Amino acid sequence: MTSSVGQARDSRNSPECWPSLPLESWEPTRATLHMWTQIVGKVRLALTPLVNHWWNVPLYVSPRGLTTSPMPYRDLLIEIEFDFVSHELVLRKSDGKSASITLAPKSVADFYGEFIAMLRSQGIDTKIWKMPVEIPDPIPFDQDKTHASYDSAVVHKFWRILASSSDVFHDFRALFIGKSSPVHFFWGSFDLAVGRFSGRRAPARPGADKITQEAYSHEVSAVGFWCGSGNVKEPSYYSYSSPEPAGFSDYHVAPAAASYRKDMGEFILPYEAVRTAHEPAAALFDFCQTTYEAAAINAKWDRAELERER
């Protein structure tokens, strides 16, 4: 007889958990949502103290979308959540009050105006830098009338992929007893990621800015999901090691659809290969594990001290 836990694990492989989402099917919505998440993410950046590797700034997958998690504001705790089920942006406060704005087709400038007005109506006055980051040709949020798309059906699919991927990433993270990042969503690069650390400091990167130096101050193996951009025009999983050890790119990783991209310095696994696998969750876990081994073995991590027995 299959246990309820076993049934829950098996259900992760249902097609509903891994919907199709070609980049071209939602690129205008993705670009708009990227800017919206940056606006909310910058409030989190403004209200939280620096945590190593900027772990205080990402968002987190929630049962309904993406959330800031609780943040301090004066004598309150507040939380802001993108609800991709009812398609609202919801502000919750520890005094029991809440407010929301509708997620629907509207420009970044209009979203920014509504968002700031909602915060102020609830007594929250936080200044953020209005310029987007990590994108080409940025437009200040309050001036961006270019990005104005929101397809609720595809956004829900996007959240479903994040939720399924996050589930596997948490399983992978649980087997590591060394320093590990949360499973978190970086609104700058618009990707979901988790990192494992060897415990050793990394060499300083010549010419890198302070943000990059802080992010990669220690030796790390990271795996993540993003929707595609640049030379990768499809949603994909990625894995890299920083600094990259000799032999990393030659390591045999799984599943077979994964490959090393020299131009990126990363292993890439198309999401479509995971989605269509017999057991998508297992295929993704194999990618997480084998790309980590490519880093840990070749960089000679002390695996006996860092890993929990499987």
**Tens-level pLDDT at each residue, the chain (310 residues):** 444 444 455 688 999 999 999 999 999 999 999 999 999 999 999 999 999 999 999 999 999 999 999 999 999 999 999 999 999 999 999 999 999 999 999 999 999 999 999 999 999 999 999 999 999 999 999 999 999 999 999 999 999 999 999 999 999 999 999 999 999 999 999 999 999 999 999 999 888 998 999 999 999 999 999 999 878 889 999 999 999 999 999 999 999 999 999 999 999 999 999 999 999 999 999 999 999 999 999 999 999 999 998 7
Q: Is residue 12 part of a domain?
A: no
pLDDT at 195: 98
Looking at the fold, whether 205 and 106 belong to one and the same domain comes out as: no
Given a contact cutoff of 8 angstroms between Cβ atoms, the answer to whether 26 and 150 are in contact is no
Please tell me the number of Cα atoms within 13 Å of 186 on its side-chain side: 21
pLDDT at 5: 43
Looking at the fold, whether 172 and 299 belong to one and the same domain comes out as: yes
Which helix (DSSP H) or strand (DSSP E) does residue 267 occupy?
strand 266-270
pLDDT at 8: 53
Looking at the fold, whether 83 and 156 belong to one and the same domain comes out as: no
Domain endpoint, select from 123, 143, 163: 143
Prediction pTM value: 0.95
Distances (CA, A) of 171 to 66, 217, 281: 19, 25, 10
Q: What's the domain range around 135?
A: 23-143
CA–chain centroid gap for 282, Å, is 20
Looking at the fold, whether 41 and 96 belong to one and the same domain comes out as: yes
Looking at the fold, whether 195 and 108 belong to one and the same domain comes out as: no
pLDDT at 229: 83
Looking at the fold, whether 139 and 230 belong to one and the same domain comes out as: no
pLDDT at 11: 80
Looking at the fold, whether 128 and 176 belong to one and the same domain comes out as: no
Q: Is residue 95 part of a domain?
A: yes
Place of tokens 């599943």: 255
Looking at the fold, whether 288 and 180 belong to one and the same domain comes out as: yes
pLDDT at 205: 87
pLDDT at 9: 59
Looking at the fold, whether 159 and 289 belong to one and the same domain comes out as: yes
Nearest in space to 284 (alpha carbons), one of 251, 244, 253, 247: 253
How far is 307 from 310, CA to CA, in rounded Å?
9
CA–chain centroid gap for 227, Å, is 10
Q: Is residue 14 part of a domain?
A: no
Domain endpoint, select from 143, 161, 176: 143
Number of domains observed in the structure of the chain? 2
Looking at the fold, whether 127 and 197 belong to one and the same domain comes out as: no
Q: Is residue 180 part of a domain?
A: yes
Length, in residues, of the chain: 310
Looking at the fold, whether 186 and 126 belong to one and the same domain comes out as: no
Q: Is residue 7 part of a domain?
A: no
Please give the structure tokens belonging to residue 184: 């978190």
Looking at the fold, whether 105 and 215 belong to one and the same domain comes out as: no
Domain endpoint, select from 120, 143, 166: 143
Q: Is residue 11 part of a domain?
A: no
Q: Is residue 76 part of a domain?
A: yes
Please tell me the number of Cα atoms within 13 Å of 234 on its side-chain side: 11
